[in-house]
Structure 1
Amino acid sequence: MVLVARGTEFRSATVCHGMQLLEDEVKVSVDEMIIPDASVPLSTEEIFTVEQAYKSFITWPKFLVKPVSDPSTQAQEKIPLSEDDPLSSLHLLADILDDKPLEVEYDANVFGAGSEVPIYLNSQDVHELASGTQELNISIIQLWTMYMSGVTNKLGRSDDYGFIDPQSIHESNDFEHINMHLIRSFGRGKKIYFLPYISGRHWQLLVMSMQDNYALWFCSLHRPPPTQLKQAIDCSIPASMMMGGRSIVNSRKIAWISLKRFKTTTPVPEKSLLFIRNAAAKYIVRLYNSS
C-alpha cells in the first residue's frame, strides 16, 4: 500500500457531493498531495487524480484510509481571530483548519434531539462561506441554524420558533427516519418551524406556521416540494398531535404554498447579503475562538 495523500476523514458523513455513501466508503478531503498524478480509487466525472482532488471532497474506500503521523508537527498556541472583521478572519481560519477540522458540539436544544457526532467544520466549508459565491455545505447551514436559534432566544421568542436539522431530513434518509424526526420536532409545540432542505446541490427552505396551518416553500429554481418531504410532513403533524394527547378529529390538512417571489429579476440587495455573511462569519469565528 502506497501513501498518495494526506487528508481528513469525515466518519460521520453519509453523503458526498449529493451521493449516498456505501458502508465501505468514507468522505475525505485531500489536504496534502504526496503523489499528485496518482489515480484516485473512486473517480468522478471531474476528479481522476490526487492533484484534481486537492482541497476538495471525494469518496474513498475505507480500507485504503489509514492514520498517519507527522513527527515534524508540533503543538502551537492558538491565536484568537478578530471578530471585528470576521470575513477576513475566515480566510485565516480556512488555513488553520487545513490540518484539522473544527468540532462543534451538536446542540440538542436547537434541533430537539441529541447526537453523539459533533458538527465538523473544515477548511472547504469556510472557504465556501468566505467566497460569497459558492454553494454551502450542510455543516454551514447547521451552524447558521444554531446561530438563528440563539438570536430567537435573545429576543425572548424561543417558544415561538423551531429549527429542523437539514441532515435529519436529507433526501438520502429513508421515509421512516425523516418521519420520526419530524414527529419529535413538531412535538415541541413551536408556532413556526424552519426546515432548510437540500435537493441534489440546491438549497431550499420550508417555513411552517403550525397555528395558521400552512407551509411556505421557497425555491429559487421554482421546483415543487419533494414528494417524500411532503408526505413526511403530512404524516408527522397528526402523529405528533396524537402523541401529545391532542385530538385530530377537526384538524385540517396543512396547506402548501409555493412563493413566487423569485420570478422577479431583481437580485437580493448586496447590503443584505453582506449583513448575513458577516453575521455567520462572526458566529463561526467566535466558535473557533472559544474552542
Structure 2
Amino acid sequence: MVASALVYMSRNGEFVSVHGASLRDGFKKVTIKKVYNGSENALLPVPVGDLEILNDAKSSFVQWPQSNIHSPNEKNAREEEAHESTNSTQPKTKPLDPTTSRFLGVKVSLEFRQKWRTMSLKKLANEARVLKTSATMINVDIEEHVLHREQKCMLSYEDLIHWCDEEEISASHIALFMRYLTELVVSIQCTTSYGFLCPTSLSKFASFENEDDRSDYIVKAMTCTGCERGRKLVFAPYFEGNHWMLAAINPKDSVVYWCDPAGTREPREFLKDTINMAITKINSMDPEKCQQKELEWKIIKFMFKAPKIYSVQQIDEVRDIWATYALQFKAEVFDGNV
C-alpha cells in the first residue's frame, strides 16, 4: 500500500474525466488523501501535467488502476482514524458515508519491482499496466530505410514488462532499438556506413520463399547510394534457442564478424551460405572494382576493449535508452491487422 485515497463513485453511463483527460479503461478517478512513509517518490500510474510522483499529487485527482484499489476493513479504518486523531491538533472530520457521498475511502497500491531501477523503467512499467488494463498495444511503424522493408513493431504488455524485468528479449525489442540506432546514425550523417537487417531475416522461419530471395534482401541492405561497394558494416541479429547472436557483415573487405555473447556457438552453415551468396551478388555488380576474395568469417569472443562482464549500471544504461525511446509512442487499440 502506498496511500489512502477517496475513489469517485461514478453513476452508470456518466462520462468521467480527470483534468480534462478521459478516464482510461480499467482505471478509477481518485483523490490522494495520505501518502504512506517511503512511498513519497512513487511514480503515478498516469502522470497529470507536471505531477509525476505520488507526494505531489496529494489532494489532487488522478487516475488509478482499479486492480490496485483496496477497500480497508473496519478494524484497519478505525486504527487509522485513531492514529490520525492522536497525532493531529486539527478537529477530527467525520468519515465519508458512501450512501450520502459520491466518494469512498480506500487504500491504493503500486507494483514496483527491484529491477525497475531507473525512472524511465518505472514509467515503462506504468505504461505496461495501462496496456494491460485497456487491452491496447504500442504500434510503431518501422520505415523501409531502417530495415529495408516496411513493417510494424507491436509492443504488448508482456514486451514492456519483460524489458523492465530483464527477461527474454524479443524481435520487437531489437527492431525498436534498431529504429533508434538508425535515427542516431542519421543524426551523425553516417547513413552510408552502417545498416541493419530485420531481426528475423536470418531465421529459418522468416517469410522468404527461398534462400535466393533472402540473399537479395541482404544485398538490398548492404548496397546504398554513396557506397562504393556497399555499406562498411551491416548488423544482422540471429536468434536461436532463446539466445541472440550477431553477424556484423563488412562487404567491402569480404569479412563477417560473428559475435556470440556466450562464446559457445559457431555460425550455422545455412547462414554462411546465404551471406556468401549475397556477397557474391554484390561482387558481380562491378567485378572490376571488386577484389573477388573468398568471404572470411571471424569469430569474435570479446569486442575490442569491451568488458567480459557488464556492470548493472552499464546494462541499465542501455535499458534506459530503450525505455525512454519506447515511451515516445502512444498506445492504441489493436485490431489484428498488421
- Measured in 1, the distance between the counterparts of 2:236 and 2:270 equals 14
Unaligned runs of 5+ in 2: 1-12, 25-45, 53-117, 225-229, 334-338
- Measured in 2, the distance between the counterparts of 1:246 and 1:290 equals 50
| Deviation (angstroms), 1:220 | 2.5
Unaligned runs of 5+ in 1: 1-70
Instruction: Indicate conservation of the 8 Å contact 2:203/2:239, yes or no.
Output: yes
Instruction: Report the CA distance shift for 1:231/1:125 in structure 2 as closer, same or farther (over 3 A).
Output: same
**TM-score, normalising length: structure 1:** 0.65
Instruction: Report the CA distance shift for 1:148/1:80 in structure 2 as closer, same or farther (over 3 A).
Output: farther
The answer for the alignment partner of 1:136 in structure 2 is 169
Instruction: Report the CA distance shift for 1:190/1:250 in structure 2 as closer, same or farther (over 3 A).
Output: closer
| Deviation (angstroms), 1:247 | 4.4
Which protein is bigger by CA-based radius of gyration? 2
2:252 is paired with a residue of what secondary structure? coil
The alignment yields a C-alpha RMSD, in angstroms, of: 3.2
Residue 92 (str. 1) matches residue 126 (str. 2):
yes
- Measured in 2, the distance between the counterparts of 1:77 and 1:147 equals 31
- Measured in 1, the distance between the counterparts of 2:138 and 2:307 equals 38
The answer for the alignment partner of 1:33 in structure 2 is none
Q: 2:237 aligns with which of 174, 177, 196?
A: 196
The answer for the alignment partner of 1:114 in structure 2 is 150
| CA-to-aligned-CA distance 1:143-200 (integer Å, 9 cap, x gap) | 0111111111112211111111112222213523422211221222211111111013
Instruction: Indicate conservation of the 8 Å contact 1:187/1:241, yes or no.
Output: no
Aligned residues: 215
More displaced stretch, 189-198 vs 169-178: 169-178
Residue 105 (str. 1) matches residue 147 (str. 2):
no
The answer for the alignment partner of 1:233 in structure 2 is 275
- Measured in 2, the distance between the counterparts of 1:191 and 1:182 equals 14
- Measured in 2, the distance between the counterparts of 1:101 and 1:143 equals 14
Instruction: Report the CA distance shift for 1:248/1:228 in structure 2 as closer, same or farther (over 3 A).
Output: farther
Instruction: Report the CA distance shift for 1:206/1:185 in structure 2 as closer, same or farther (over 3 A).
Output: same
| Deviation (angstroms), 1:203 | 0.4
- Measured in 2, the distance between the counterparts of 1:249 and 1:153 equals 27
Residue 269 (str. 1) matches residue 311 (str. 2):
yes
Instruction: Report the CA distance shift for 1:277/1:257 in structure 2 as closer, same or farther (over 3 A).
Output: same
Instruction: Indicate conservation of the 8 Å contact 1:103/1:120, yes or no.
Output: yes
- Measured in 1, the distance between the counterparts of 2:239 and 2:157 equals 21
| CA-to-aligned-CA distance 1:17-59 (integer Å, 9 cap, x gap) | xxxxxxxxxxxxxxxxxxxxxxxxxxxxxxxxxxxxxxxxxxx
| Deviation (angstroms), 1:80 | 6.8
- Measured in 2, the distance between the counterparts of 1:114 and 1:247 equals 33
Amino acid aligned to 2:215: N
Q: 2:178 aligns with which of 145, 149, 154?
A: 145
- Measured in 2, the distance between the counterparts of 1:260 and 1:111 equals 26
Which has the larger share of strand?
2
| Deviation (angstroms), 1:240 | 3.0
**TM-score, normalising length: structure 2:** 0.57
Give me the identity figure in percent: 20
Instruction: Report the CA distance shift for 1:273/1:290 in structure 2 as closer, same or farther (over 3 A).
Output: farther
